[in-house]
Amino acid sequence: MSELGRLTDSHGRNIRDLRISITDRCNFRCLYCLPETEEAADFYRREGRGDPKPIQHAWKPRTHFLNYEEIERIASVAVGQGVTKLRLTGGEPLLRRDVPVLVSKLSALPVEDLALTTNGFQFGRHAESLRDAGLRRVSFSLDSLDGENFKKLTGRDGLEEVLAAIRQARELGFNPVKVNAVIIRHLNDHEIEALAEFARAEEISFRFIEFMPLDSGRAWQKDHVVTGREILERLQARFDLQPVDREHPSATAKRWRFADSPAEIGLITPVSEPFCGQCNRLRLTADGKIRTCLFSLHEHDLKPLLRGGATDADLAEWLAGVVLKKEARHHIGETEFEQPDRTMSAIGG
């Protein structure tokens, strides 16, 4: 591979991780992502923010989505330029048809890691075919273990389905099975210990994520964020936790292991302790835009190249040029911070 082809940004960071969103649609309405339910409006009203002021996000027509051949092609070019991790996400990726077909195409690429992030609601019916297609790792979102609170948080009465999906993933041999929770003050912060206990008992890797300003209601405020430090202090008061070395300097989570279980706790702290300096990620949206940061205000449209006869070498050169423009860091909490037009659901977390 020529040096020219490598994906290295102007801050010396090598891109290794490509997050591929395959749809912006979702069957949930999480209060921190698509707060479009009455419960979400009530919560934010009570919190003193007035009614959420929604971003006018129109669903992209499905015809705008890249097809699986196009996704495979761009992934293959990026892998040739040094990407070693691919993650399928959304929106809810399992709302797209025939995801195992895409998984089998991507699993044929020489990557170290191919994973999927899902809310789990429809995982059960696809689980075996995803595994048979070559998927090895899956991350679920689970923010509450209380049926009512789960419904308030996600807009969907789906706790049992998600718990069943997590257990099924373990039984089918997905490894590791990770579970992510976004913790929001006055909403699910009283469940931190219970969620950790769930992780310990089920022997899974559990990640607590700080709430970021990427919700469609633009309702985020700093007071809602429960910091990783606070979560850790609470967990250390309750459990015997031992620190675990980072998998890689670019890993987003700081990790701890339970003394009496192989389960792990990870803290992802983009707001209180940003890790931009080590960021090695690039994102591809369902409609074919490359985003160099979750908080990018500019994106780079691949479709004219993909559909305009560009060769793989053209795509590689273009990608390398885009990566050079990767932002040094985000500006959450600073006066110049500007929330991007796209919500987390339309970027791909």
User: By the criterion CB under 6 A, which residues form the site for ligand SAM?
Assistant: 26, 32-33, 89-90, 92, 117-119, 141, 180, 182, 209, 211-212, 214-215, 344-345, 349
- Provide the minimum distance between the beta carbon of 210 and ligand SF4 in the complex, in angstroms, as a whole number: 14
- Provide the minimum distance between the beta carbon of 33 and ligand SF4 in the complex, in angstroms, as a whole number: 3
- Provide the minimum distance between the beta carbon of 210 and ligand SAM in the complex, in angstroms, as a whole number: 7
340 binds ligand SF4 (CB under 6 A): no
Please list every residue from 96 through 135 that binds ligand SF4, using CB under 6 A: 119
Cβ neighbours of residue 93 under 8 Å, at least 6 residues apart?
A: 21, 22, 23, 99, 116, 117, 118
20 binds, among ligand SF4, ligand SAM, none (CB under 5 to 8 A by kind): none
Q: In this structure, are residues 341 and 55 in contact, taking their beta carbons and an 8 Å threshold?
A: yes
- Provide the minimum distance between the beta carbon of 59 and ligand SF4 in the complex, in angstroms, as a whole number: 12
348 binds ligand SF4 (CB under 6 A): no
| DSSP-assigned beta bridge partners for residue 210 | 183
Residue 56 C-alpha from the chain's centroid: 22
- Provide the minimum distance between the beta carbon of 119 and ligand SAM in the complex, in angstroms, as a whole number: 4
Please list every residue from 66 through 95 that binds ligand SF4, using CB under 6 A: 90-92
211 binds ligand SF4 (CB under 6 A): no
225 binds, among ligand SF4, ligand SAM, none (CB under 5 to 8 A by kind): none
Cα dihedral sign for 167, 169, 174, 176? negative
Helices (H) and strands (E) in the chain, counts: 11, 12
Residue 339 C-alpha from the chain's centroid: 17
34 binds, among ligand SF4, ligand SAM, none (CB under 5 to 8 A by kind): ligand SF4
Q: What is the DSSP letter of 16?
A: -
Using alpha carbons only, give the angle 67, 71, 77 rounded to the nearest 5 degrees: 150
Strands 177-183 and 137-141, bridge-based pairing: parallel
d(CA 332, CA 222): 9
- Provide the minimum distance between the beta carbon of 182 and ligand SF4 in the complex, in angstroms, as a whole number: 8
Which position among 22, 34, 284, 305 is part of the footprint of ligand SF4 (CB under 6 A)? 34
Cβ neighbours of residue 336 under 8 Å, at least 6 residues apart?
A: none
215 binds, among ligand SAM, ligand SF4, none (CB under 5 to 8 A by kind): ligand SAM
266 binds ligand SF4 (CB under 6 A): no
Q: Give the CB-nearest residue to ligand SAM.
A: 349
Quick one: 6 or 60, whose CB is closer to ligand SAM?
A: 60
Q: How is 181-201 classified by DSSP, letter by letter? A: EEEBTTTTGGGHHHHHHHHHH
d(CA 135, CA 88): 10
209 binds, among ligand SAM, ligand SF4, none (CB under 5 to 8 A by kind): ligand SAM
Helix (H, G, I), strand (E, B) or coil at 82: coil
- Provide the minimum distance between the beta carbon of 24 and ligand SF4 in the complex, in angstroms, as a whole number: 8
Interacting residues toward ligand SF4 by CB under 6 A: 26, 28-30, 33-34, 90-92, 119, 141, 344-345
